Amino acid sequence: MIKKNRFFRAAAALFLVSVILTAAFGASAADRDGFSRKDGVAVRMTAAAAEDGATVEVELVNEECRYAGSFTVSIEVPDGFIAPDAQTLSALPGESKKAEFRIAKAPETSPETAEETAPAGKSSGCGSVLPASAALAVSALLFTAGSSGKKKRIITLILAAVILVPALALNSGAAVTERSINTGGSFEYGGDKYDITLTVSYDYDFSEESSVKTTGFSEFGITYYWGPHNEQATDEKFWKAIAECGFTTVPLENNNIANNKIALGLMKKYGLTCSCLWDERIWAITASTGTFTDEQIEETVRAVVADYSEFDNIRGWWLYDEPSTAKFGVLSQLTRAFRKIDPEREVFIDLFPNYAKSSQLGADSYAAYVEKYLKEVDPGYVCYDHYHFLTDSARRGFYSNFEQIRSASLEKNLDYMTIILLTKHNSYANVTRAQLRLETNAALCYGVKRISYFTFILDADLLALSWDNACMSYTGEIYPHYYDVQAVNAEILPLGRELFGKRSVGVYHLRSGSLEEGCTGYQGYGDLGEVSGKSFLIGFFDDGSFMIVNRKYGEGEYGDNSLTFIDVTERLEYFDVSDGSWKAFTDRDAEGRYEYRCGGGEGMLFRVG
């Protein structure tokens, strides 16, 4: 009796596994305009009543899927009808194909005949192998459990293993190699309504194309705009606090040569590099309304570079903040001069955001402004600022600006950085930690290689304007934002370093509302495939990894969110920022599917191992 119970328990366990895996592979795609979409493939069906059943027309469009070309189309019908044979359609990207199916009423049969008649055919789409194999294996185990012959039990167990194990092995990898799109429909017959299911299955042999890496930076960096200057730049406590806050490369702004040199020594003591150094001789050129010859500019640049030749922790030179197109000429001259005289270092120019006025840009549109900048100035990397959060709202255009700069930078094969809001000033919000997480994680998701906060310090004139809650004041007071930035930097530094050198290949938004201009809704991509959730940003990289960011930025329960993985059922890994390593992701929902649960603005980097 004990032995039989063991066999029945084993059979039940195997059957439960088959049920769970079958459910995992039965995902449905979301409908839009009558189509169900996934992986760049769109399908829809229309059913019409016929004299002896129904006629079903299926339209399949390969909109942009480069990883599948052959599709198996099948119809699952209710009892009492005969399922049509599956059809195979070939459709390359940009092609559309149609197929027609006839569903016939099954002939009436006597009970004796019905027992001998094979059941109506079912869908042969993704996951159909496993239930059949599991059923055979379970049947074999049940048969063995009731038998008394030891040899017979052993033979049958081996047979069950031969049937079931290969099926499990086949489908454990099917999450990223075999996929299906399911969609429902119905038809009327004899005054009754009958439901049918369309399944389109295909092998999805995904692999990112090798791509040239972007250039501009030598490593991922965390910086700020507006830090210690004048006498603050010579005060060691500021540089110690900056290093302890998690910054890696920071600017020297509005200092004379003597103060700059003292500051560079202190920065080196705390492991900091200078991202861009401001020198009054360069500023005199960029601030002037006059013109300069290339020879005059080169002479000035040679003098500046020579004055700091003893320092090896300078990464770049400060040129200009938010130039109009009228400044592009002189900035081009300076960029060329520094590239000629000091080619190993960068030059810093920060562009306007996309909400700047045409009068500020000196161009009819933001796109024209960016295009002109890249063509005329020919920078080594691209930088822009965008302050997303207002006192009582979030400014629309945050994601559009990412799209615009990312697209322009990738076209020129350049790294890019962004300056985000930190300090409360004018009409801008006193951002929360969740909002900071959203700003920084969204930047990483979009492929940003350096992140900058505005501002680090508040000096007397800014305090007089009621600016508040930077990281520090010029007197050394530490604001609450210092600790917010410190916590966020500890998360994004290892992430940024892991992503450095990887090229952004796609960014998508998973949400029910309207998208900002230039943004793309998520329909399934890469190793991730179909997911279920709302309000997420998903970015893909050329090594197959993908970053998922919670677009919700409320505090506590108002920011909580979750995303369920439909296609990925095994071998999901995440990047652990606490120790900088890849680990198995184990969180699952009640149905056994992977589930990423996160708080406001949080993000995580994944891959399928």
Q: Can you give the pLDDT at residue 56?
A: 94
Q: Residue 110's pLDDT is what?
A: 54
Strand 35-38 and strand 53-62: the pairing is unpaired
Terminal-to-terminal C-alpha distance of the chain: 43
H-assigned helices in 523-590 = none
Give the pLDDT confidence score for residue 158 in this predicted structure.
41
- Tell me how far CA of residue 56 lies from CA of 91, 98, 100, 196, in angstroms: 19, 11, 6, 10
Separation of alpha carbons 338 and 335, rounded Å: 5
Query: Which residues of the chain are modeled with pLDDT < 70?
Result: 1-32, 109-176
Question: Which helix (H) or strand (E) element contains residue 177?
Answer: helix 174-177
Q: Which amino acid is at 141?
A: L
pLDDT in the model for residue 32: 56
DSSP 8-state class, residue 106: P
Structure tokens at 1: 């009796």
pTM, 2 dp: 0.81
Distance CA 140, CA 132 (A): 12
Single out the residue of 603, 602, 582, 584 nearest to residue 594, CA to CA.
584
pLDDT at site 115: 45
Tokens (6 digits) for 245? 């806050």
| Whole-angstrom distance, CA of residue 376 vs CA of residue 358 | 18
- Tell me, what's the pLDDT at 472? 98
CA 20/CA 588 separation, integer angstroms: 12
> The dihedral of CA 376, 381, 385, 388: what is its sign?
positive
CB neighbour burial string for 204-220, b if at least 16 within 10 angstroms, e if fewer: bebebeeeeebebbeeb
Q: How far apart are CA 560 and CA 251, in angstroms?
A: 36
Cα dihedral angle (560, 566, 568, 570), rounded to 10 degrees?
90
Q: Are 490 and 244 in contact (CB under 8 A)?
A: no
186-234 residue pLDDT tens? 999 988 999 999 999 998 888 877 778 899 999 999 999 999 999 999 9
Distance of alpha carbon 348 from its chain centroid, rounded? 27
E strands, 39-144, are 41-50, 53-62, 70-76, 81-82, 87-90, 96-105
Q: Which fold has domain 221-501?
A: TIM Barrel (3.20.20)
CA distance 129 to 54: 27
